[in-house]
């Protein structure tokens, strides 16, 4: 498994994920395909101490989700696998999920007062959910009520106080 296709149509690149993380994702996918396995059982497995995707050092004896873990492509794939099982269990269809996503990145950028590239970066980083329909990206308008762009970026330059220019009186030589 070099890539993983999320339920929303985005591709997660797993080419650099360690073999043990790929094996764990394969195990979760098998559990998800098994009708006898519940979503709760998958959650116990996914957030248990045997998950190599999670940080084993944050909480002794348990795996933990840290900022570093959230940034891992394997974690994005793992949460999608869990979400898929939850959808099947709850009888939710992909179509019903996708129909609420109606805004384009340009419309979102306009509403938030930011650039389209800032919206796309938030989507790529997983901070703003998006749906891929027919090769185009769409966002759920409800997600904008809780989404905030990071205040990071270039720091404004520190303003220096203006120095007063002291003009020296010109000396005129007379008689030359």
- Choose the most confident range, by mean pLDDT, from 6-10, 32-36, 95-99: 32-36
Strand partners, 11: 5
Task: Determine the average pLDDT of the residues in 26-34.
Answer: 95
Query: Based on the number of CB atoms within 10 Å of its own CB, is 78 exposed (0-12), middle (13-18) or buried (19 or more)?
Result: buried
Per-residue pLDDT tens over the stretch 67-108: 899 889 999 999 999 999 998 888 888 777 777 888 899 999
Is the four-CA dihedral 51, 54, 55, 61 of positive or negative sign? negative
pLDDT at 30 over 80: yes
Position 150 pLDDT exceeds 70: no
pLDDT digits (tens, 9 = 90+) for 45-76: 999 888 999 998 888 877 899 989 988 999 99
Region 16-22: mean pLDDT is 95
**Distance from C-alpha of 144 to C-alpha of 130, rounded to nearest angstrom:** 11
Q: What mean pLDDT is predicted for residues 125-151?
A: 80
Helix (H) or strand (E) segment spanning residue 73: helix 73-90
In sequence order, the β-bridge partners of residue 55 are 64
Q: Which parts of 15-137 fold into alpha helices (H)?
A: 19-33, 39-46, 67-70, 73-90, 94-98, 105-112, 116-124
Query: Averaging pLDDT over each range in 26-30, 58-62, 130-134, which range is the top one?
Result: 26-30
């Amino acid at each position: 498994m070099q890539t993983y296709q999320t339920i929303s149509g985005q591709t997660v690149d797993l080419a650099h994920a360690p073999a043990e993380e790929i094996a764990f994702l394969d195990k979760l996918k098998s559990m998800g395909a098994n009708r006898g396995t519940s979503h709760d059982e998958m959650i116990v497995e996914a957030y248990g101490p045997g998950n190599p995707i999670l940080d084993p050092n944050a909480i002794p004896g348990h795996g933990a989700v840290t900022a570093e873990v959230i940034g891992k492509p394997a974690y994005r794939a793992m949460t999608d696998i869990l979400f898929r099982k939850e959808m099947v269990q709850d009888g939710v269809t992909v179509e019903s999920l996708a129909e609420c996503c109606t805004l384009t990145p340009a419309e979102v950028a306009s509403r938030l007062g930011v650039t389209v590239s800032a919206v796309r970066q938030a989507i790529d980083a997983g901070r703003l959910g998006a749906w891929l329909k027919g090769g185009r990206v769409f966002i759920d308008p409800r997600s904008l009520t809780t989404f905030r762009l990071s205040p990071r970026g270039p720091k404004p330059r520190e303003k220096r106080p203006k120095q007063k220019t002291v003009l020296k009186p010109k000396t005129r030589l007379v008689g030359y």
